[in-house]
Structure formats: C-alpha cells, structure tokens
Structure 1
Amino acid sequence: MHYYTDVLKKYGSFQGRARRREYWMFALFNGIIVLVLVGLAAATKSTALYVLYAAYILAVVIPSVGLLVRRLHDTGRSGGWFFITFVPFVGGLVLFIFMVLEGNRGPNEYGPDPKGADVYPGAAGPYAG
C-alpha cells in the first residue's frame, strides 16, 4: 500500500525515476479501486457512486501520468514517449513494453538509480553498475 501513497505524495512530479514495482503496484491498487467502485455503482445503480468513480479517476490522472513519465525516465526515455499511446493499435503495446522493461542501471540523465547499489552486489559506489 505504501507504493500507492508514495505516488500520491509526488502528486504532480514529473522529475526523477520510478521503479517497475512502484509503477505496477500503483496500477494494481488503481485497478482494484476502480473495479470496486464500478461494481458497487452497477450493483446499486447509485448515481452517487458513479460520481465518486468519476471524481476518483480525475483525482489520479495527474499522479498516474507523472508516474508513467518517471517510469519512462527510469528506462532512459523522455516523457514525450507518452504520446505514442495515440498511435492506433501499436502505441499502447509499445508503451506497455517500455513499462515492463528493467530500468537503466546506475544514474542516467533523469537522476540516480532508484534501486541503488544494494541491488548490484559488488558495485564500487552508490550508483556503480
């Protein structure tokens, strides 16, 4: 759950890098919350729950895009790659592949490695690799 709250703490941040785990755990929690809200709204036919669902979606748009950009940064790509999603059929697939790829080891132009040296045994410095 802390991955979800960590992303929300960086609400409008498009700087730095994000690990795969941070991205996918946030996606998992978002998916669960959305399914619960939509399921409850459909089961109760409650307009209030549909409004709550819409408000939730609007509330997490900015942190979701920020996290996506930071995840792209971790793979050494500019946040501009987000726009590939507008390419029909293949755009979403390409972006999905980028989200699955391991991030660059060590620092890159977007910041230090979020995993740190402890992930790379025998590394000679905090960001060696």
Structure 2
Amino acid sequence: MTTPQTPASAPLDQPLYGASFGEAIRRFFKKYSDFTGRASRSEFWWWYLFAVVIAIVFSILIATLGTVGNGGRGYGPIGWILIVAYIVWVVAILVPSIALIWRRLHDANLPGPFFFLGFIPFVGGIILLVLYLLPSKPEGARFDRR
C-alpha cells in the first residue's frame, strides 16, 4: 500500500489515503464523473456518511414541514418543494456516486463493473458492502491514468 498523503500532495488522479471529511467531499465533486483511477476507503466512507446525513435531514424536514399549508391532508406546498429539492439532489449526485463506487472498487484491485453485482436480488447489496470494505491493494494502480 502506498504511504498516506496530505491533501496538498495528493493529485486528483491518485487515491487520498486518510482523507478528512471535508477533503473527501471536495474530491467527490472535483471528480464528478471520473470513472478512472482509485478512491481510498476514507474518501468513499466519508462521502457515504455525508449522503446519508443529507437524506436524513431531508426526511426529517419532509416529515415535519411536509403537511404545512394543507391542513394535515397530504403534502402541502412546502412538502412538495422539499420533495422536488431532494429529487434534484439525488439526480445531481447519481453519476458521481457511481463513479466513486467504481473508483473504490479499482482501489481494491477489482474491475468497476462489479458495481452491477448490486442488482442481484437480496444479496447484491451485501456483496458490494463486503467489496467496499476490502483494503487498498497496490495492484489497483493498473486502473490509474497513464
């Protein structure tokens, strides 16, 4: 495994081992649709945590403010605005999230198309979770740009 790098010394085409929360989020958006290269476990899991927190915040807001202005009978205008905002967020992060998964698999020296294992009913998500948890392997450098 390569030595940990500081954010200032890690080029975007290389994984950033030991990435901080903020650095992982910045790198996620800088590498928006880049399916080449690798992503360290810290890059991957910090982003995953951020995405889950955003989903929870939207869920709480929709549950608490969603019926405002409609007398409690379904979603009111604020609820629909929040739902549309969440859908826009999900669409905006869809491609870069798949790209991050692809790069995380590369870092474990696995081909990116293993992402599609997640579509296997019942066990696909478990298989991918195990693959995401695998340690980085130097052989994964074969997926870097040359």
Q: Aligning the two structures, in what range does the TM-score lie when normalised by the shorter sequence? A: 0.7 to 0.9
CA distance in 1, matches of 2:57, 2:26: 18
Deviation string for 1:38-61 (max 9, x for gaps)?
210121012101111111011000
Amino acid at match of 1:9: K
Q: Is the 1:75–1:101 contact (alpha carbons within 8 Å) kept by the matching residues of 2?
A: yes
CA distance in 1, matches of 2:53, 2:93: 14
How big is the shift at 1:19? 0.2
Instruction: Give TM-score, length-normalised by structure 2.
Output: 0.73
Deviation string for 1:9-31 (max 9, x for gaps)?
10010000000000000000011
Which residue matches 2:8? none
Deviation string for 1:34-82 (max 9, x for gaps)?
1101210121012101111111011000110000000000011111101
**Is 1:67 paired with 2:100?**
yes
Identity of aligned residues (%): 35
Q: Is the 2:58–2:86 contact (alpha carbons within 8 Å) kept by the matching residues of 1?
A: yes
- How many residue pairs get aligned? The number is 112
- Structure 1 gap ranges (5+): 113-129
**Is 1:2 paired with 2:35?**
no
Q: Structure 1: which 4+ aligned runs deviate by more than 6 Å?
A: none
How big is the shift at 1:107? 5.5
Amino acid at match of 2:93: V
Q: Is the 1:38–1:53 contact (alpha carbons within 8 Å) kept by the matching residues of 2?
A: no
CA distance in 2, matches of 1:107, 1:36: 35
